Structure 1
Amino acid sequence: MFKKKPNIKQLSPLRSSDRRKLADQIIADLSLPLPPKPANDASPEDKAAATVKLTSLRNALLPENVQAAKFSTTAGPDLKNVNGTVYIGAHSGGDVRVLWVHVSDRLWPSIYTLWHNPRVIPLLTTPAMVVGKIQAGADLMTPGLANGPPFPSKAKKGALVAVASYENPSVPLAVGVCAVDVSALGRVQGMKGVAVEILSWVGDEVWSWSPSGKLGGEPPAILEAWLEEDEVLEITQDVGGVRLDGPSEEDENKSQEKSKAIQPEMDYDQREWTTQGSSCQTRRRIMLTLLDIDDAFFKALLFGIYRAKESGSAPRYGLDFPLKPSFIMAKLIQPYLPIFGPGDAEALQIKKTSWKNMKKFLKHLDKLKPPFCLTKDQGGETIISVLDFDHWELEDFKPYSLPKKAKDSSSEGKGKGPEVASGADSSVGQKIKIVALYKTKEKFSQLFGSPEDARGYHTATEIKDVVNEYIEKENLVSGNNKRVVKLNPFLANDVVDSKDPKNRDFVARGTIPRDTLADRVVAASSAYHVILRNTSTPDSSSKPKAGAPPKILITQETRSGNKTVTKISGLEVFFIPPQPLADELRKTCAGSTSVDHLVGSSPKHPVMEVMVQGPQAQTVQTALEKRGIDKRWIEVVDKTKKKK
């Protein structure tokens, strides 16, 4: 279906209620087994366990980060228009990809969803030679079916099925819908006709699509769960990292029998399972449970305080009380989180803990027995006023291995207290992208077809596409020149403002260049922007801000007669912590640096300013480029030059 690249519109996050409804619809459509409902007199623990099982199943099919977008493309030899909805998100440790596609009345999974949810649909196999033809856009013919009869009992006419090669039957390479009742076939040799109408395959535009333009992920070497004899996957026991309880003795015996040939060995430094003993070696990411994430944050805080005690002196060990949440996260937690790769960075976020935010986390520490710290509310945030450096949790703490970039020898930073963590700058190597968005006026809703479609934020390209679609729909293209558009009453009155001198000639002639019309709509819309870090698509947490994107300001000025200093401000919006940058510049420039509040910034939301000795604008720009900052987002002001 998707031999031609689909035109995917603006992504928008799904509400939690909509995501649950969609997940329940998928479960019903695929006839997936639901966890048994607890009896009315069941204990609260049993009821909670059943709820967790259902939530785990939903999250496995539709991760919490999923977003929806409308799309359009053409299909078939007649280039028939196809419109639908794609659901885009990322499984734990994976890239953002298309996970589900909804066209007409059919909702089907992408290849990536099948790789992360084995056996949610029946699996058919075919020789590798036939797979090559499928990847060229062909359907699976009946004689191409292998490894049967009998075929899976659920592979009936109209059912969704996965297709893998006979040589490697554990990795689906295509998804389609049965054109005949495959389960009832008694033989395939000599038969004719299409068995499976292919919807998507490895190598098509669904598999290749990514918001960052990154090519599709390579198929894994092996997915053992697809080799199980059961036709339906029991994914409610341990999905999405939520472990409900320990396995029964019977389950353990079965698991040991299945794993005699392949024994997993844990590689803690890589935080991955390395499976050895087979012709193919496969690496499977560990799924962190909620308890794992909570434990990681608490131990990271212990590690940060442990380092402060190791390099500081009593009674405060170099810590400046009260401790603010931003300082605690940047100095005492973030540098000591066991983040060894993108998957860990995605999982280890405060919003994915049971506390959800720093305020509740700090309140939790205050309620421990005995209290780990004393907190109080000040200026709209919760701060730590007193910290128990002799708490038994700190006394029993044992340091653990960290990524190389976060390690500091005990000799480094002696006497600096928490500054030992300043070398761990999470912004180094980050990728920053600024997305310019526009909010159109309500009077332009006719362009979009309805007020609902007009609401929200749109890129300039999306607005221009909407204008072009409206032009084609209303047949407004000039017969003499396709680049010229005829003005109908709506365009002349509401879109092209005749009061503007630039538009009077167009209104008088009754025509306007197509590009100029689109530019008028964009110019009349309200400008917004979103700054994205290590991703290419806005999510629910990245709220657009009004106005043009900000810039990092680098100012060179003369102080104390003839001494030149360089000041840097505006770092926070680009996810750059000022203190680690100052520490790096201190070494690079071989001069003293300082971090202080920018004069005039809000006390509630202070902006920090880094100052380094000497005319260091070029050095600062190099340091910022390492942190993903494009030169277009930097403004350099040199006040040392004499005015002419």
Structure 2
Amino acid sequence: MFLKPYRLKSSAALKGSEAKKLRARLELAFPHVPAEHLMPAKANVTQLKILTHGGQQSMVYCVDKQPMFFELDGGQLVPTLYTLWSTPDILPYLTTHEGVLPKLSNGADLMLPGVVPLGVGLNMYGHFKKGQLMAVNLTNNSSAIGVGQLARSSDELYMCGGHGVAVKMLHMFGDKLWAHEPSLLQQIPLNKTKPLSGEDFPALGSSDQHRKTTKPTPTEPTTVSEPVPQAAETDELTSGAAALSLEEISEPAADAAAVSPDEPTPETVLKNAFLAALKNNGKKLPLPLLTSNFYRLYVVPEASEQIDLKKTRYKKLSNFLAEMVDQGFIVVREETKGVDKIISVDLEHPELVNFITDVKTGDSSGAAAETPLFHSELKEMYIVSDVTAAFFTKMNYKRGEGIPVGQVKKIVREYVSKHGLADPQTKLVRPDAVLLELCGNREGTLSEITSIITSKMEHSYQMCSGKDTSGKPQIQMSLATRSGNKKVTLVSNIEAYGIIMAELIKLCKQGAAASTSIVKLPHQKHEQLQVQGNQIRFIYTLLTETYKVPPKCILGLELAKDGKKKRK
């Protein structure tokens, strides 16, 4: 609903009487949460009228500039992520896996295969009604990452057999509503639940003396003992403090002093996010770009933790960007009073190049983590089941093998065409002996036959990388001449292998010591890598040894230089 930019039609502060009416609506919609927690009496409440990218009108209610609720058709109030983070129990939750988050962020609804069951049997998906508001969180973080409406009731979800939409997403982390006020942006709070251990359940009648006298180590949580009367507790604390020596009291302070230098400062977090934004988006930035949009859309998502400009020495975004201008990273121009735009970026800045080539350290043992060379992609798959194995084995697929969703219909079409099962007039498919076992004795369209087959397959997700070379076009290396009779090496079809182009360009610049760039010729559909000089041998070695591309997938090696010309 808010993934694409919306247009603000009007903005007005609510009067006292209007704010009371809104508070009464909140009490009615969420009776289990005090309305004072959701909308404090002295807060400044603003009503925004917006028009979404799809032409839908909606109301957004901001509390102290932060969007806290929005309205659906019919007037239903929906809490935003900021409300869910401050009041987590305002809505029930469904949990999904961490790998599903990129799909949701790109506009997909939460599908049933991605939902972690809440129980067994009829309790698998709770007891909720169709259309009920649901928050969505992750298995590794209980904080909400989105909110939506149930596509079906809990009983209907159970009867679906693990297929179909579970939650129609309305609002997601990273969308335009979350980023409405750049100065108040928040990252997802990390809220992990520590699993209980046997120490949390002592034997009945056991003494608590050991737990009271044993001092917890800095890495272990302090055990909470039974409550005691306040006076006794005060005496115990006083006597305990008197018994501690000066060395014992200073130990935690010394440990904290030893740890604090390793923690990144707010300025470091901000600078690293700025450099990462230039690294990942430098060539794609739509210059000239508003400085506020650059910070909101590119810098904040790259931050390793929440950025609070007020806690940095800059205090304001303009002060930080002014320093980046002085250091030569960017050029900013003031178009009108108070409106600044970035007009150019220096991607060859030494510090930026060092940041790109820097290898991130791994664990405390000093092991280094490799810079990722391939893009990873979460693909929706259908698994060949026992029921469908007879059909797919005829098309060279094995039992248990995953097939991308978009590939299943192509396989069915190929099978129907190969065996001449389509009626030339009606275009309906006449099942043969193999399809009879799956679809029964009735004709149907290609889409209907495909739907019946996929309904008997297991739905899953698979993380894929560019290392899989099956069905991909060959990488073509060639030579060309540019102005001044300069020879260049052109390499095409690299993107089909999921190779991260920024890292490949970096390796070419370092290894070949030659100018490297991305070009797109008028008659070419895709971009090409261009390296100055005849670098065929170097590119071939880089692709086969570093990226492990099979030699049979690379064409053009015969154009490589055999060696340097001998001087006469």
Tell me the TM-score range normalised by the shorter chain.
Answer: 0.3 to 0.5
TM-score under structure 1 normalisation? 0.29
TM-score under structure 2 normalisation? 0.33
Q: Which has the larger share of helix?
A: 2
